[in-house]
Amino acid sequence: VFSGDLPIVFGITGMPDWMTATYAGNYVKLTGTPVAAGTYTLSVAASNDRGKNLAVGQGTVTVE
């Protein structure tokens, strides 16, 4: 979840092919069915519609 003036523009890197991102309001929802074990490092960047207040979050998804 990101805060700031709506609408918020999102960008994601590191997402595996089987994962889908859904953007709604001020959050990103990641869904999908893994096809193999692995570790994926995702980076999500968000900024408001004026290109200000850039925020970046990073996390790891591990499939066993």
Instruction: Please write the tens of the pLDDT for every residue from 2-55.
Output: 677 778 888 899 999 999 999 887 788 899 999 999 999 999 888 887 767 778
Instruction: Give the model's pLDDT for residue 12.
Output: 92
pTM (predicted TM-score): 0.73
CA neighbours within 13 Å on the CB side: how many for 11? Answer: 9
- Taking 80 as the threshold, does the pLDDT of residue 57 lie above it? yes
Alpha-carbon dihedral sign for residues 51, 4, 24, 58: positive
pLDDT value, residue 9:
84
| Residue 51: partners with Cβ closer than 8 Å, 6 or more residues away | none
DSSP state of 25: T
Report DSSP letters for 33-54, one per residue: --SS-EEEEEEEEEEETTS-S-
